[in-house]
Amino acid sequence: MKRFLSVLAAVMVMFTLLAPLTVSAEEGKTTLTILWWGSQTRHDLTIKMIEKFEEKYPDIDLVIDYSDWDGYWTKLSAQVAGGQTPDIMQMDYAYLAQYASNKVLAELDSFIASGELDVSDVSDSILTSGQIDGVTYALSTGTNAPVLLYRRDLVEAAGVELPMNATMSEYVAVSKAVYENSGMRDTFVTDCSADLLRFRLRSYGLNLYNDDATALGFDDPKYLVDMWQLALDAQNEGWGMVPGESSAATAFDSMVVDAWSRYQNSNELQAYRDATGLDISMVTIPDVDDATASATYLKPSMFWCVAEQSEHKDAAIKFINFFTNDPDCFDIVGVDRAIPISAKMREHIAPSLDDVSKEVVSFVDYVSQPGMASPLMNADPACHTDVSELLGQYSEQVRYGLVDDLTAFAQEFMDEANGILAAAAQK
């Protein structure tokens, strides 16, 4: 019995020893938690950048946590539900409205007004992108443009050239040539996702949703029909990926084994080159042949947000300010979270960039020229995930050849999507 008691005592002592470990706040130090998503390239850069921050602000201690994109939204929501919202979190356009309306995010206007968050070198349109109903909840980490990544080696081997600003028929011609030469296929026009539809609509000066997101931003089924018809043609002619034929385990992998082109964002060029080790380059999203506007648009690549329940908002703001305005930060992270939103920081990094980053910067500069891009996109409504998943279901049926009347089918989708949007708007 005595032995048992001493074991029990030891166990209890261990528990009391473990307890303080969880709240190891050093004297006088502010501890902040931070959560982001990204590739391995980003994790490495961000950790280095945070070490620099802690060096400059010795009274702040950052506890880091990160994830890939897929796991991120489960992880973040679980932490919010458990009352453990990270003080600083990375945010995406598709989720911003949802998190802001559920009061997870702190408003940043008062910190901007007090000057703690210095946005004097940031353009108004970028600031507006982080606002919901006129209140700033998020600050963009950088400006981005959707791009078409492609395997330059395969295009060259096919003896063709993909122009910087291709029309859809130019793109299709290159696609066919690459397919005939290497057997690698297209996953861009066959994707038929909400993003692809958005590009098509933008080419005609339209948007996926109307201004207050109470309905779709278009009422002619032809946009959907054209998108689906092109995908079906691509599949039938062989140069487009047939559904269920991809054997890639990851998106990176698909550019190695399946596809010669892929829609991504401009800041991801480096990650794709790192992960595949291949000669990957980028051009703008192809415009439809009868385009009246550009399919390309500038958008905030992602945001930094502060938790509403954070006890150290001022310290969290210091970090975001560091990320927005400090040359030391950008010497490390470069353009991994896209082109810095501060004009001064853009000037600062320009000379020191490596070749890939220079390509990214000049690409975004190119797109930023007047007339090259359609206006900044609005934040998607909270029910965007439902609408885009619905489109995925419809597109899959089309791509499996189950639909005879594409126009009626498109109308059916539009009615159902409008129903979702109307129901969400009423809540």
Question: What is the Cα–Cα distance from 136 to 342, expressed in whole angstroms?
Answer: 17
Q: Does 102 help bind another protein (rule: CB under 8 A)?
A: yes
Q: Please enumerate in sequence order all residues whose Cβ is within 8 A of that of 77, keeping only pairs 6 or more positions apart, or say none.
A: none
Q: What is the maximum alpha-carbon separation in the chain?
A: 88
C-alpha distances in Å from residue 36, one per residue of 68, 129, 149, 294, 317: 8, 19, 24, 31, 16
Interacting span for another protein (CB under 8 A) from 98-106, 135-143, 173-181, 226-234: 98-106
Closest CB to another protein among 12 and 164? 12
Closest CB to another protein among 312 and 399? 399
Q: Does 145 help bind another protein (rule: CB under 8 A)?
A: no
Which among 186, 185, 180, 190 is positioned nearest to 400, based on CA atoms? 190
> Which position among 99, 199, 304, 322 is part of the footprint of another protein (CB under 8 A)?
99
In 24-82 the beta strands, taken as DSSP E runs, fall at 30-37, 60-67
Where would I find the H helices in 277-405? 313-325, 327-333, 343-349, 355-368, 384-399
How big is the site for another protein, counted in residues (CB under 8 A)? Answer: 29
State phi, psi for 133 to the nearest 5 degrees: 50, 40
Q: Does 5 help bind another protein (rule: CB under 8 A)?
A: yes
Per-residue binding letters, 337-376, with another protein (x by CB under 8 A): ----------------------------------------
Q: Does 16 help bind another protein (rule: CB under 8 A)?
A: no
C-alpha distances in Å from residue 329, one per residue of 33, 44, 325: 18, 13, 8
Q: Does 19 help bind another protein (rule: CB under 8 A)?
A: no
Interacting span for another protein (CB under 8 A) from 14-22, 37-45, 96-104, 132-140: 96-104
Q: Does 404 help bind another protein (rule: CB under 8 A)?
A: no
Contacting another protein within 70-89 (CB under 8 A):
73-74, 77-78, 80-81
- Supply the minimum distance, in Å, between the C-beta of residue 158 and another protein: 21
Instruction: Give the helix/strand (H/E) hosting 281.
Output: strand 280-284
Where would I find the H helices in 339-383? 343-349, 355-368
Q: Indicate the burial class of 89 (C-beta count within 10 angstroms; 0-12, 13-18, 19 or more).
A: buried
Closest CB to another protein among 205 and 419? 419
Q: Does 402 help bind another protein (rule: CB under 8 A)?
A: yes
**C-beta of residue 261 within 8 angstroms of C-beta of residue 150:** yes
Interacting span for another protein (CB under 8 A) from 16-24, 221-229, 243-251, 296-304: 243-251
Q: Does 400 help bind another protein (rule: CB under 8 A)?
A: yes
Instruction: Give the helix/strand (H/E) hosting 73.
Output: helix 69-81
Q: Does 10 help bind another protein (rule: CB under 8 A)?
A: no
- Supply the minimum distance, in Å, between the C-beta of residue 238 and another protein: 13
Tell me the Ramachandran region of residue 134: left when phi exceeds 0, alpha when psi lies from -120 to 50, beta otherwise.
left
Q: Does 236 help bind another protein (rule: CB under 8 A)?
A: no
Closest CB to another protein among 48 and 103? 103
Q: Does 256 help bind another protein (rule: CB under 8 A)?
A: no
Q: Does 249 help bind another protein (rule: CB under 8 A)?
A: yes
Q: Indicate the burial class of 134 (C-beta count within 10 angstroms; 0-12, 13-18, 19 or more).
A: exposed
Contacting another protein within 369-398 (CB under 8 A):
385-386, 393, 396-397
- Supply the minimum distance, in Å, between the C-beta of residue 347 and another protein: 39
Question: What is the Cα–Cα distance from 275 to 259, expressed in whole angstroms?
Answer: 15
Which positions touch another protein (CB under 8 A)?
Answer: 1, 4-5, 8, 73-74, 77-78, 80-81, 98-99, 102-104, 242-247, 249, 385-386, 393, 396-397, 400, 402
